């Protein structure tokens, strides 16, 4: 890790929306939302969160780091599974409170359940009173039990 | 609005991850993160939040509703601009705390700054100490001043 990255102060709305200063807005827990898409398919693989250090490490290394809210720790994607995400492009949104990472996903999948994407179930539309999820693109591409030493340790 | 949708209780990890009961996890503020992608290009258009009512209205109507954290109100995307989002598919992730909406974006763009997507700036990778954003796909596709009665009223 080199010297700390200098994130810009938040500034005016014009600074944030039309400027070139990177002023990410971390929430009350010090986190920013990151959407991860597959550079090949364009599909959303996962949604995760970064704290300032995870963001800095991602920028410096070009590999995705996150902060696990459940495990309360910095986490390099693929550190257990080998399913590292190489960041091809990192974008920030208009108000700089969300990030979009286009990644090259190493290995057979991003989801700790053993699937390519975490989004393997659809919510049917047009229902007025009840919802039953429908599995889509839900085939398992790897066996999580064989990959992860600890359940849930992504 | 018909009767309230019944969201399932959260249940066990197996229920949540491998079941067909829709048990969305709202955060401490009653919100869930929604990623919106363009069904045509696959690009991420925006990241927004839904409360239970916004989610219910989205499911019932097939058009995207959100909850504005800044304005503290329910908000139908396109209510001011006409830039309605027709939801082609709604998915939920493994732990059911994030939603992915694939939408048909009506009108020239989704971003209140006048652009197609909110993600019009890239964060260069590999930098150790400073970051200057780079505009990408940042051409304005409409004039927000001509569309929105109130600045920021998306």
Residues B24-54: tens digit of each pLDDT: 999 999 999 999 999 999 999 999 999 999 9
Exposed, middle or buried by CB within 10 Å (0-12, 13-18, 19+), for A60? middle
In tens, the pLDDT along B47-84 reads 999 999 999 999 999 999 999 998 999 999 999 889 99
Residues A151 and B12 sit within 8 Å (Cβ to Cβ)? no
B93 interfaces chain A, CB cutoff of 8 Å: yes
B60 interfaces chain A, CB cutoff of 8 Å: yes
Neighbours of A52 (CB within 10 A): 16
B65 interfaces chain A, CB cutoff of 8 Å: no
Residues A34 and A47 sit within 8 Å (Cβ to Cβ)? yes
- Using alpha carbons, select from A55, A60, A58 the residue that is nearest to residue A2: A60
A87 interfaces chain B, CB cutoff of 8 Å: yes
A100 interfaces chain B, CB cutoff of 8 Å: yes
Identify all chain A residues contacting B113, using CB atoms and an 8 Å cutoff.
17-18, 94
A-interface mutation test, from B37, B88, B100, most A Cβ less than 10 A away: B100
Tens place of pLDDT for every residue, chain A, 154 residues?
A: 445 677 999 999 999 999 999 999 999 999 999 999 999 999 999 999 999 999 999 999 999 999 999 899 999 999 988 999 999 999 999 999 999 999 999 999 999 999 999 999 999 999 766 789 999 999 999 999 988 765 444 4
> Which strands sit side by side in the sheet containing A98-105, from one edge to the other?
A44-50, A32-38, A98-105, A85-92, B121-122, B134-135
Identify all chain A residues contacting B62, using CB atoms and an 8 Å cutoff.
125-126
Render the burial of A74-106: b for 16+ CB within 10 Å, e for the rest: ebbbbeebebbbbbebbbbbbbbbbbbbbbebe
In tens, the pLDDT along B102-119 reads 999 999 999 999 999 999
Identify all chain B residues contacting A112, using CB atoms and an 8 Å cutoff.
94
| Per-residue pLDDT at B1 | 47
Q: Which of B111, B118, B125 sits opposite A59 (nearest CB)?
A: B125
Neighbours of B1 (CB within 10 A): 10
Percent above pLDDT 90 for chain A: 84
User: What distance in Å separates the CA atoms of residue B7 and residue B23, rounded to the nearest whole number?
Assistant: 5
| Per-residue pLDDT at B131 | 87
| Per-residue pLDDT at B42 | 96
CB < 8 Å from A in window 66-85 of B: none
A-interface mutation test, from B93, B135, B137, B140, most A Cβ less than 10 A away: B93
Give B59's contacts (C-beta < 8 A, 6+ positions apart): A123, A124, A125, A126, A127, A131, B5, B90
In tens, the pLDDT along A34-62 reads 999 999 999 999 999 999 999 999 999 99
| Per-residue pLDDT at B29 | 94
- Alpha carbon dihedral A71, A72, A78, A82, in 10-degree steps, equals -50
Three-class secondary structure of residue B139 per DSSP: coil
Instruction: Please state the ipTM of this predicted complex.
Output: 0.92
Residue B127, pLDDT > 90, answer no
Identify all chain A residues contacting B22, using CB atoms and an 8 Å cutoff.
123, 131-133
- Taking CA atoms, B15 is separated from A46, B9, B11, B62, in Å, by 19, 10, 6, 26
Sign of CA pseudo-dihedral B110, B111, B113, B116: negative
Residue B152, pLDDT > 60, answer no
User: What distance in Å separates the CA atoms of residue B7 and residue B5, rounded to the nearest whole number?
Assistant: 6
Query: Which backbone phi and psi does A66 adopt, to 5 degrees?
Result: -135, 180
User: What distance in Å separates the CA atoms of residue B136 and residue B120, rounded to the nearest whole number?
Assistant: 5
Query: Which backbone phi and psi does B73 adopt, to 5 degrees?
Result: -155, 155
| Per-residue pLDDT at B130 | 73
Residue B151, pLDDT > 90, answer no
Name the H helices within chain B: 13-18, 52-61, 144-147
A-interface mutation test, from B7, B12, B44, B56, most A Cβ less than 10 A away: B44
Name the more confident of B8 and A5: B8
Percent above pLDDT 90 for chain B: 84
């Amino acid at each position: 890790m080199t010297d700390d990255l200098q994130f810009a102060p938040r500034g005016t709305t014009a600074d944030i929306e039309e400027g070139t200063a990177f002023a990410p807005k971390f929430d009350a827990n010090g986190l920013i939302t990151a959407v991860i898409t597959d550079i090949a398919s364009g599909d959303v693989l996962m949604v995760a969160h970064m704290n300032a250090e995870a963001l800095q490490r991602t920028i410096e290394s070009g590999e995705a780091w996150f902060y696990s809210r459940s495990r309360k720790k910095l986490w390099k994607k693929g550190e257990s599974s080998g399913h590292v995400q190489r960041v091809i492009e990192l974008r920030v949104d208009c108000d700089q409170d969300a990030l979009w990472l286009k990644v090259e996903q190493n290995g057979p999948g991003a989801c700790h359940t053993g699937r390519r994407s975490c989004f393997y179930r659809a919510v049917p539309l047009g229902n007025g009173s009840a919802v039953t999820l429908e599995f889509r693109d839900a085939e398992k591409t790897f066996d999580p039990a064989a990959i992860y030493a600890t359940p849930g340790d992504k």
